[in-house]
C-alpha cells in the first residue's frame, strides 16, 4: 500500500512538474516570438510618430499620425501582449530621442490612449480570427479609444499642457471655440474636439490596418 501510494504520488508530482515546465517553456516561447518582432514594430512606430498631419478643423496640437497602424498590426499578428509591448516601446523611444516637456504626463496619456485601442482589439481578434471578427475588434478598439481618450485628456493631458506650457485652460478652450463656437469650457472641448478627433484617428487607423493586414499577414506568420 505504501509503495503504491508512493508511486501514485510520484506520478502526480512528475505530472505537475511537467505541466510547470511546459507552461514555463510556453511563456518563454511567447516572449521570444512576441518580444523580438515587438522591437521591430516599435521602431517602425517611432519613425511613423515623426510624420503627423495637422487637421484644419481641430486645434493645432491634435495631429493625425499613423504610428498606431504598426501597433495594431503587431497586436493582430502576435497577440495583445505584443501590441502592448510595441505601444510601450514606441513611447520609450520617443522619450529617449525626443525627450519630454510635460514631465512624462503627456506620454502617459498617449500610452493610455494607445493601449485603449490596441488591447481590446487584439484581445477580441485573438478569439475571433475572421473578417467579421476583425471588423468588430477594430470597432471595439475605436469606441474604447474614444472613451478613454476623453478621460485621459480631461484629467491628464489638457491640464498637463496648460501647466507645463504656461497656457491657461481658457486659451486652450478658445482654440476649440474658434473652430466650433459650441465649445465653451473644458468639458465641451473634450466632447466636441477630443472625442471626434480620437474617433476619426481610430477609424483611419482601422481602415489602413484592414487594407494592409491581410496582405502582409503571410509574411508575418512565416
Q: Per-residue pLDDT tens for 13-66?
A: 454 554 444 444 444 444 444 444 555 454 554 455 556 788 889 998 888 888
Total structural domains within the chain: 1
Q: Per-residue pLDDT tens for 183-194?
A: 999 999 999 999
Q: How far apart are CA 204 and CA 121, in angstroms?
A: 15
Range of the domain at 9: 2-53+60-220
CA R_g for the chain: 22
Residue 154 belongs to domain with CATH number: 1.10.1760.20
**Hunting for cell 511563456 — which residue is that?**
27
65 bridge partner residues = 52
63 bridge partner residues = 54
| Start-end of H helices in the chain | 2-49, 67-78, 80-98, 105-127, 131-152, 158-164, 169-177, 186-189, 195-220
64 bridge partner residues = 53
pTM for this model (two decimals)? 0.76
State how far the alpha carbon of 71 is from the alpha carbons of 26, 76, 91, 104, 211, in Å.
23, 9, 12, 21, 15
Q: Per-residue pLDDT tens for 61-109?
A: 888 888 888 889 889 988 999 899 889 988 888 888 888 877 788 889 9
Higher pLDDT: 150 or 54? It is 150
pLDDT for residue 24: 44
Amino acid at each position: 500500500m505504501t509503495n503504491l501510494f508512493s508511486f501514485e504520488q510520484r506520478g502526480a508530482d512528475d505530472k505537475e512538474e511537467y505541466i510547470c515546465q511546459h507552461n514555463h517553456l510556453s511563456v518563454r516561447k511567447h516572449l521570444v516570438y512576441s518580444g523580438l518582432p515587438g522591437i521591430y514594430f516599435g521602431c517602425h512606430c517611432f519613425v511613423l510618430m515623426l510624420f503627423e498631419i495637422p487637421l484644419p478643423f481641430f486645434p493645432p496640437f491634435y495631429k493625425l499620425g499613423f504610428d498606431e497602424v504598426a501597433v495594431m498590426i503587431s497586436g493582430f499578428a502576435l497577440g495583445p501582449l505584443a501590441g502592448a509591448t510595441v505601444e510601450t516601446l514606441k513611447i520609450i523611444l520617443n522619450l529617449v530621442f525626443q525627450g519630454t516637456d510635460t514631465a512624462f504626463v503627456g506620454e502617459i496619456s498617449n500610452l493610455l490612449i494607445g493601449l485603449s485601442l490596441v488591447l481590446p482589439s487584439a484581445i477580441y481578434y485573438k478569439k475571433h480570427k475572421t473578417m467579421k471578427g476583425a471588423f468588430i475588434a477594430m470597432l471595439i478598439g475605436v469606441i474604447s479609444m474614444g472613451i478613454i481618450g476623453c478621460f485621459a485628456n480631461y484629467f491628464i493631458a489638457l491640464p498637463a499642457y496648460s501647466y507645463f506650457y504656461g497656457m491657461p485652460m481658457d486659451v486652450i478652450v478658445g482654440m476649440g471655440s474658434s473652430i466650433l463656437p459650441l465649445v465653451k469650457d473644458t468639458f465641451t472641448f473634450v466632447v466636441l474636439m477630443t472625442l471626434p478627433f480620437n474617433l476619426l484617428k481610430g477609424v483611419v487607423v482601422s481602415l489602413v490596418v484592414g487594407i494592409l493586414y491581410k496582405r502582409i499577414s503571410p509574411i508575418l506568420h512565416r
